[in-house]
Amino acid sequence: MQTTDKPFVWLIHFLNSKGFKVVGVPVKWKRSTLTKNAEDFKKFFNINKGKINYVLGFSYGAVINLITANELKPNKIFLCSLSPDFKEDNKDIKNWIKNYLGKNRMEDTQTRSGIKMAKELSVPSVVFYGEKEGKQYPKLKNRSEETVKLAKSSKLVIVKNAPHKIDHFSYIEAIKKNIS
């Protein structure tokens, strides 16, 4: 997904209405790894940053956000539905998921530790995950909860009844409440 896609329209309108300058990040997902996406994001951020910066990422965008946070030093990060895309998360991964993600992406997950990144996170963060998505994707739930537990300044928001959809009404309300 891209920030220009329908699920993000409400978020951009809401943030603009609160006086934020929203800069959507174009991400090349096809035939890329999150490490490469993170490098591209660093360049984009440094060109577009302001005096005060908040970064929100959803799913794999949340992983990119976490990978880059300590280097870029935004004022706060929002990790929405943090994907379990770290070496600790690959134990017991199903073969169909390995095939779906592909060899390069699977190898890329081995280059980063979610535990290490959480322990070293120096930027305040808010981590969201949906109640329903946590049941459907227990590794996502575990990664989110462990990140908050290990990070120095982090808050966990479990979004009532929400699936893996940033435009679900409960997710919308939770984000609005925690950004306002």
pLDDT digits (tens, 9 = 90+) for 45-85: 999 999 999 999 999 999 999 999 999 999 999 999 999 99
| Domain ranges across the chain | 6-179
Q: What is the pTM of this model?
A: 0.93
Assign 73 to helix, strand or coil. coil
Q: Single out the residue of 1, 110, 122, 10 nearest to residue 59, CA to CA.
A: 1
154-174 per-position pLDDT tens digit = 999 999 999 999 999 999 999
Dist. CA 79–CA 57, nearest whole Å:
5
Task: Indicate the CATH number of 6-179 among 3.40.50.970, 3.40.190.10, 2.60.40.10, 3.40.50.1820.
Answer: 3.40.50.1820
CB atoms closer than 10 angstroms to residue 43:
9
